Structure 1
């Protein structure tokens, strides 16, 4: 089995190497939240420093109770005994695939690690297209057809992965689409794994995120963590909510078996800090809301720069991503640069201009597609002082370091693209691909 370094980590390392060599970079490839640790979280971590015992495999009771309350406040009643914690949502997702077994299905495009983790577990991942501007959720009718065909060929498909909100597109599937997905999963007897790590980073305050657990509670596993909403990627703490059903209890036993052989239990001090975070005190909810606002402003500004260069791009709704499509450049890229694939385009942007983005092919998209994932969360500054200023600013786009990055983005697009997009000037992101 050949598995390479995750594309998101690889592009981050490539940009770091360019920085070490003194070269200018435009860091749009890595999905790190890019904000300082909140002082209250630092204090909670320090106060848990004497927690040196292994602890329960499922996680400390205090943490599981707090996580259950977090989901309860989002309309998902949760039994703390059906919560399992781990060292990040990423190993939890992989352990779930091991525990469930069989092939899985995910959206096309979808986060780079779903298919790779299925491969590591010895299974395959079918990637099913999403509806326009409804990323993260496979189109239910296409899912049913693909699973039916795979099973007719003797494949054992047991699960489907949903991302709400979505990475890589930054969009949010409608309630109707999520409901139909849940109903289709029930008809096909599929376990639904709902990765909701970006749930708290919806840009529009009051916008609803709908989980498949609302519509198929008996078969939906929900996953989240602290790496995105509180920008604690280096702390490595995730939690899963298992369904209150015979399936959920069976999955819990299998998941704990896998966890006991891989990580034993999450780190004690991190668990104590996470328990505090999941109670959602006012100072942390204020930080999360401010983060979502900042992510939205900057992601939308970057999407608008792509639209002005001729891209079609859905307006970002959550997190810090957009997914522009530069199909309008195809003829120009082939003539002037000999480029016919998304990977060729992103390689040119990286090598010639220090612009790190990931091609859609890394997310299960067509190799020929001139689509890419753009992550704007590392534009907020190189120091914690700058990042705190970005959080506090009424207009973060007026901060010189953010403005310079966005202007550099426009400059690179102007240099690589045609003088005028073949299909005319791009629309503002708010109207493109609605």
Structure 2
């Protein structure tokens, strides 16, 4: 019998994030600090709008690119919050989460052999989606000494004549690092000079602490070179609604929409109506959740440092990325032993790239009560290692 499977697909490993949660799901009294999902319910007024849309019988397909009403609100939101304007009819499309937008952007832009610069540690989808699109992923290693920021020099080190796209995953999952305007300006100089394009994943744009998010698309000469990706999962606690969007030059978006038409048709109609309400009346909800995350962030960083772990203070998203190199064991081994001995699940840094070795990703998208319980257990585990 012929092998029914694609060699390309079988060579791609499964997500390193999921390994531990399969164990946790069957472990009594385990505490997970690994899932990148808000613990808040979607705000009631947003849920009500979704329910109302069903009651009104709005259960049909929308246009492929999404509800015109929603695209108009996305355009207004980006102008209002990040000072970048997009034509809702020609430069915005609604997707099934930000993940679909990443996938179709890469497929629309890459030819076989084109290289994509991917800063790591970073979200798990960029490398496999690049491979599935026929591209070649090129890792750009981020370092703690640089506060896990991408620098102009690091981009220049990895450039080749085949480089076509730079992925900008900031605010960053898993490190919590951000790029400020001066960082982006230096990178934009390289992008323009070397005739590159950018896929800017800004799903955590509303979750920054003490600083306002800046998008590279707002810089001179960059909107025409950038696919801006965002969504509703993190900012509005709408993970299960599966709704994101992409903003791009019309020539790029037209090809992305073609893939979307054949693979998806349109994003969920109910979710789109709920998202209109989120953008119109959800600013206070975002602010309240951000304030709660900030409190948890400060608590978690202090607690980890108090137990003797080096920990960069994140400025965005809802993760910390403590260093465990001093214990002389791999991130995977540390995470497995912590799970087995104290029933606390965290994610090994290597799930986000090889350069994540020696680190752990811990999410603070959990209640303070759960964080305190988990850190008590983790403190016992760290103390036991130091006694050895």
Residue 277 in 1 paired to residue 278 in 2? yes
Q: 1:353 & 1:117 partners in 2: Cα distance?
A: 35
- Structure 2 partner of 1:388: none
In 1, distance between residues paired with 2:147 and 2:140? Answer: 11
Classify the secondary structure of the residue corresponding to 1:224. strand
Alpha-carbon distance in structure 2 between the residues aligned to 1:107 and 1:77: 27
Q: TM-score, normalised by structure 1?
A: 0.80
Give the aligned partner of residue 288 of structure 1.
Answer: 286
Among candidates 137, 157, 165, match of residue 145 of structure 1: 157
Q: Is this contact kept in 1: 2:177–2:314, CA < 8 A?
A: yes
Structure 2 equivalent of residue 117 of structure 1: 129
Matches of 2:225 and 2:130, distance apart in 1:
19
1:268: which partner in 2? 269
SS at match of 1:250: helix
Aligned residues: 370
**5+ residue gaps, structure 2:** 1-7
Map of 2:309 onto structure 1: 311
1:183 to 177, 180, 189: 189
How far apart, CA to CA, are the structure 2 residues paired with 1:95 and 1:168?
A: 23
Change (3 A) 1:404 1:347: closer
User: Could you say which residue in structure 1 is the equivalent of 2:378?
Assistant: 409
Report deviation, 1:66: 0.5
Cα deviation, residue 203, structure 1: 2.7
Name 1:198's counterpart in structure 2.
204
Deviations 1:146-170 (A, max 9, x none): 122xx3xxxx321111122111111
* 3-state DSSP of counterpart to 1:183: helix
Counterpart in 1 of 2:238? Answer: 232
Which residue in 2 is equivalent to 1:345? 334
Alignment match, 2:71: 64
Displacement, 1:323?
0.7
Distance 2:350 2:387 in 1: 26
Residue 199 to residue 13, structure 1, CA distance change in 2 (3 Å) = same
1:208 aligns with 2:207: no
Of 21, 42, 58, which aligns to 1:51? 58
- Is 1:298 aligned to residue 287 of structure 2? no
SS of equivalent to 2:78: helix
3-state DSSP of counterpart to 1:201 = coil
Measured after TM superposition, the shift of residue 196 of structure 1 is 0.8
Tell whether the 8 Å contact from 2:121 to 2:355 is kept in structure 1 after alignment. Answer: no
Match of 1:97 in 2: 106
In 1, Cα distance between the equivalents of 2:378 and 2:333? 18
Find the aligned partners of 1:329 and 1:159 in 2 and give their Cα distance. 37
Task: Report what 1:86 is aligned to.
Answer: 95
Shift in alpha-carbon separation, 1:290–1:134, aligned structure 2, 3 A: farther
Conserved 8 A contact 1:137-1:162: no
Question: For residue 3 of structure 2, what is the aligned residue in structure 1?
Answer: none
Deviates more, 1:25-34 or 1:301-310: 301-310
Q: 1:354 aligns with which of 343, 352, 362?
A: 343
Distance in structure 2 (CA, Å) of the matches to 1:143 and 1:202: 24
Q: Is the 8 A contact 1:296 1:318 kept in 2?
A: no
**Deviates most, 262-271 or 99-108:** 99-108
Cα distance in 2, alignment partners of residues 318 and 76 from structure 1: 20
Q: 1:22-61 to 2 correspondence within 5 Å?
A: 22=28, 24-49=29-54, 50-61=57-68
- 2:166 corresponds, among 145, 160, 171, to 160
Contact 1:170/1:321 (<8 A) preserved: yes
Give the structure 2 partner of residue 257 of structure 1: 258
Structure 1 263/136 Cα, relative in aligned 2: closer, same or farther at 3 Å?
farther
Change (3 A) 1:267 1:36: same
1:5 corresponds to? 14
Alignment correspondent of 1:372: 360
Moved more, 108-117 or 126-135: 126-135
Deviation of residue 135 (structure 1)? 6.2
Pick closer, same or farther for the CA change 1:47–1:36 going to 2, 3 Å. Answer: same
With structure 2 as the length reference, what TM-score do the two structures score?
A: 0.90
**2:307 & 2:372 partners in 1: Cα distance?**
17
C-alpha distance in structure 2 between counterparts of 1:135 and 1:89, whole Å? 25
Deviation at 1:124, TM superposition (A): 2.4
Q: Which residue of 2 aligns with 1:427?
A: none
Over 3 Å counting, the alpha-carbon distance change for 1:135 and 1:10 in structure 2 is: farther
